[in-house]
A and B are shown apart, each in its own frame.
Chain A
Amino acid sequence: MAKARGLVEILFDTCKGCELCVNACPFNVLQLSDQVNAKGYHPSMMVNPESCTGCASCAMVCPDSVITVYRVK
């Protein structure tokens, strides 16, 4: 069976860059961006999208509900 593949969308301007999702991701998919959002935070973003399985661990720990998770099998 093929590995599930996932993708996350992170709201750029609502993310507070707390890094909890980066830490929670089992596959090191996420990192904080070098860019600064409207609130002055470095939002989280995908850096290794090919590793994402859509497990939603990032979304689980996200306090601000800024992550939408997609998954295909």
Chain B
Amino acid sequence: MKGNEAIAEAAIRCGCDAYFGYPITPQSEILEYLALEDPYNKRSGMVVLQAESEIAAINMVYGAAGCGKKAMTSSSSPGISLKQEGLSYIAAGELPCLVVNVSRGGPGLGSIQPGQADYFQSVKGGGHGDYRLIVLAPNTVQEQYDFVDLGFELAFKYRNPVLILSDGAIGQMMEKVVLTPQKDRSVTLPSWATTGKTPDRERNRIFTLNIETDVQENHNRKLQAKYKVVEENEIRYQEFKTDDAEYIIVAYGISSRICMKTIQLAREKGIKLGMFRPITLWPFPKQKLFELSKNVKGIFAVEHSCGQMVEDVELAVKNNTPVKFYGRSGGVIMTPQEVLLFIESEMNK
């Protein structure tokens, strides 16, 4: 199954209520797969709608999520930029939803080949205001599949938007996937949702405006307190041959797949290289990386960008050990060999 198709199938099976999308390479298969499957009529009853723009799609998600429904959208880098306004509102309104970015090379229209240059946008808040997205970075098609259900679970647990930051390579890659049984769509909606004001309760309002500054600040404090709980409870990462490693690569997504091979090649040459893969890019697993960095000679941040995650790596490592960056961008995919060459040259400095 293709990475993009895995997302679509997972959405149907996890009981998602609605998908709103707009075509853009390299993620159009998500919308196409859903259109072909026609879950509204043939499977779970999930709504699938092609919107007139990414902006409309994310606002449709806002509307459905405001009704307590499991709603999602997907796009690729330029389209995700268009969704930032909506994401800021969704985060401010504390609505749960899932957004998938099958990212490509940027900036601007960039290229349609894989890229990881949307890291800042994803983890630092791409829209305006103090907010956070929970960001999951899959590196297999199985994870593409699994993170849809996980994403919705986290989104509803914290009433917060969740972003799956994938890339064109994982999206287009074909791998075997273990599918899970079809879940029912939820019939009970959250108490805060706008479902029609019944006489037994006050009206429910989904809004993001607080003209009074102290009210807005209190709202921000509430959000920050929530983000702190997320940071304490939801950090996910994977370690690969770090036990005896003298050097560690930090990479996520497609870069981490490529670096698996780099590590194999390095080990064949006797270089004790390991890898630390953040799965949650926000919250970033900084404490674990800090611990690991105490016992190694160097850390290499490897990304398909001009250097974005490396900033969080440096912040986490806190000068315990040198941090070097290697990246390719614009849609160019690095080879395991060139990463190893870079590491060897840095080791010999």
The reply to whether A and B meet directly (CB within 8 Å) is no
**Chain B residues packing against A (C-beta within 8 Å):** none
**Chain A residues packing against B (C-beta within 8 Å):** none
